A and B are shown apart, each in its own frame.
Chain A
Amino acid sequence: MSSKEKILAAIRRQSPARPPLPSLDEAWIQYPDVQAQFAAALASVGGQVVEAASLADAASVIGQLPPMEQAAKIVCTVPGLPLGNCVLDDVPDPHLLADVDVAIVAGRFGVAENGAVWVEAGHLRHRAVCFICQHLVLVMPRGEIVHNMHQAYQRLTFTRAEYGVFISGPSKTADIEQSLVIGAHGARSLTVALVAGWEGQLSAAAQE
């Protein structure tokens, strides 16, 4: 008998109660101003929001961020944002990204309750760039913010092999005496650029 059969048989020998799966249809929290709540939640976890009136405007807003000033190696995977000097698709091995100073990638939508942004790696040759960079900038359409995590999962379907991640703020740790330190292993700073009048690189339509 294989371990699989053994484990399943051991479970099936037991007869716990079998209550139904509950509905998740509830009056979950809604915020009067999702953009303001998103910005406040992101600030509370050490990130920041910048606003841009258009994608062209985003280029100048992001270009003026402090991490960009001293950045030597910048990866930008957002089409229409001419900010990068290293093309991710030309990098053969993710280990070569160890010296990336700033990575600028698209997020699909944000979550107001916790400042998280959903990032899909399907369009990134190396998803490692999101974690190995010193500073991370996520670019997303201004209107794409949901109130809470239940709405977030209504927008997500997982039907193919792909990696996705909610990122909420910069990498952090409090493992030494509960003192919060920003920049543990991943990005030392996180900026979310909310771009008006742009439907986004990862909008549901662009997905198909």
Chain B
Amino acid sequence: MAEELTVVDHPRAAAKFVRDDARAHWHDQALWFVRVKRDRMAQSLPEWETLRAKAAEIKAHTVGHLAEYLEQFERQATALGAKVHWAADAAEHNQIVLDILQRHGVKQVAKSKSMLTEECHLNPFLERHGITVVDTDLGEWIVQLRGEPPSHIVLPAIHIKKEEVGELFHRKLGTEAGATDPKYLTEAARYKLRQVFLESQAGITGVNFAIAETGGIVVCTNEGNADLGVSLPKLHIACMGIEKLIPRAADLGVFLRLLARSATGQPITTYSSHFHGPAPSGELHIVLVDNGRSSILGNDDYRRSLHCIRCGACMNTCPVYRRSGGHSYGATVPGPIGSILNPARDPGRYATLPYACSLCGSCTDVCPVKINLHEQLLTWRRDIAAAGKLSWSKQAAMKAAAFVLARPGLYRLAGKVARFSLRHLPRLLLYGPWNPWGRQRELPRAPRRSFREQYARRPKP
């Protein structure tokens, strides 16, 4: 994938997205609608803040005892008849999955949503080895048919209009030309994917939670695609990051109450499936993947990003995400949490992401596990600058700012020039292409005097 090799330039990608003004507004509104639904659900529970606090405490405890819990999970899951695999990185994960599939002579897999397999680029890997992978979550299937990655971790096709889905289905499935009714289009997908479920020889799922105490895994979907995908064939492969662990089954009481409410404003997902061991006469393989998580665990500043339960609430609320689209982040996990997790994996490639943020803190306010997202984003900016990964323009601007701010006389003069310019220069000069601040906004009307000047002139008591 060529995209993998290039450095992500968020501002440029975002500029492309906002060029279509009507579409950018539509995208913004679609996500805000989900945020509003989330608020309604959060406000319907008097204990919402208690739940968030408990979730954060459970996660902090788990991360602090992760090695013990992973070992306990493996013991318990194995006792129930599951086979547990360990993968240090994406390549090893993909190889493990391929080996299992090849051993069973699998030609086609029905896969339900798993951000981990997206992170590992499992699909193209399996396809290269002659195995067909069908993403069965409707949104994921739509983006798969379009040959693009999901733009959101919960709402993979949130950037696509129904007219485009209609056109896509017309080409790929032979639905009526010009059809845009979501019900009709969903019905066509249901029909086609039923055949996929019935034909596939294996099912792959992600994992929302893995219970150390019992050795079970929990998968949450609304469509029922995970369950259909793994209850027809004999083979179920579940892929999970090592941070998905929770200590006790009772902890699910906290997390299942938070997850769907935060994600889509539902009281719970339609299906919350608890797999303990394989189905009778079936096989269950669980692949535990590190892929950089253990090094995040060692970092005091970013450790809490491992608490994430992938609800997507931080994306729905983020003013930058809503107006720049998930693809502008060039990563599997976009938005505020993605802007923390991706630089941890590759600071050079993802250096622009922590700047895709106004530091408004809304993500931190809605996060169900209380990750201090906006603080970590600010810390990332410090680390990126310290590592010399900052773009030359930002470095030059910072140097210039430091120079001016260290010289009070120069600073006052700069202020005077700016106030004069804002008041007296013609629009043509002020809003030229050299002033990015004037591009999508009206510049403020500057006061005649600075605060300092006004203060000096105040009537003395």
Q: Point out residues on A near B: beta carbons under 8 Å.
A: 2-4, 6-8, 10-14, 16-22, 24, 26-29, 41, 44-45, 94-95, 98, 111, 113-116, 126-128, 130-132, 148-150, 152-154, 156-179, 181, 183-187
Contact = CB atoms under 8 A, between A and B. Distances in A.
Interface string B152-174: 00011110111001000000000
A22 B274 contact: no
B54 interface: yes
A177 B187 CA distance: 15
B372 interface: no
A10 B290 contact: yes
B118 interface: no
B228 to A, nearest CB: 5
Contact of B254 (A16, A24, A130, A131): A24
Interface in B173-226: 182-183, 185-187, 190, 193-194, 197-198, 211, 214, 216, 222-225
Contacts of B295: 10
Given A126-B231, A131-B227, A175-B157, A45 B92 contact: no
Contact of A176 (B138, B216, B270, B279): B138
Contact of B268 (A94, A166, A185, A186): A166
30 contacts: A7-B290, A10-B290, A14-B297, A17-B64, A19-B60, A21-B57, A28-B47, A115-B268, A128-B228, A131-B271, A150-B250, A157-B249, A158-B276, A159-B214, A160-B80, A160-B277, A162-B276, A166-B272, A168-B268, A168-B272, A171-B270, A171-B271, A173-B139, A175-B155, A176-B142, A177-B162, A184-B223, A185-B193, A185-B197, A186-B227
Interface in B28-54: 30, 33-34, 45-47, 50, 54
B67 A22 contact: no
A175 B66 CA distance: 35
Nearest to A184: B223
A165 B276 contact: no
Contacts of B71: 8
B216 to A, nearest CB: 5
Contact of B222 (A8, A159, A173, A176): A173
B270 A168 contact: yes
A11 B297 contact: yes
B224 A158 contact: no
B279 A163 contact: yes
Interface in B51-83: 54, 57-58, 60-61, 63-67, 70-71, 74, 80-81
A168 B256 CA distance: 12
Contact of A7 (B46, B211, B242): B242
A138 to B, nearest CB: 13
Contacts of A173: 138-139, 186, 222-223
Interface string B99-136: 00000000000000000000000000000000000001
Nearest to A159: B214
Contact of B253 (A3, A21, A153, A158): A153
A131 B231 contact: yes
Given A21-B61, A22-B61, A170 B267 contact: no
Contact of B274 (A20, A98, A163, A183): A163
A96 to B, nearest CB: 10
B231 A176 contact: no
Nearest to B297: A14
B252 interface: yes
Given A14-B294, A29-B47, A183-B190, A176 B273 contact: no
Given A114-B268, A161-B80, A94 B182 contact: no
Contacts of B278: 161
Nearest to B156: A175
Interface string B15-39: 0000000000000001001100000
A49 to B, nearest CB: 15
Given A167-B270, A168-B270, A185 B136 contact: yes
B232 interface: yes
B253 A150 contact: yes
Contacts of A165: 227, 271-274
Nearest to B269: A168
B138 A41 contact: no
A139 to B, nearest CB: 18
Given A175-B137, A184-B222, A127 B279 contact: yes
A11 B86 CA distance: 13
Contacts of A158: 211, 214, 216, 249, 274, 276
A45 B266 contact: yes
Contacts of B139: 173, 175
B61 A20 contact: yes
Contacts of B185: 176
A187 B225 CA distance: 11
Contact of B161 (A26, A29, A157, A177): A177
B272 A184 contact: no
A98 B195 CA distance: 10
A100 B250 CA distance: 35
B87 to A, nearest CB: 6
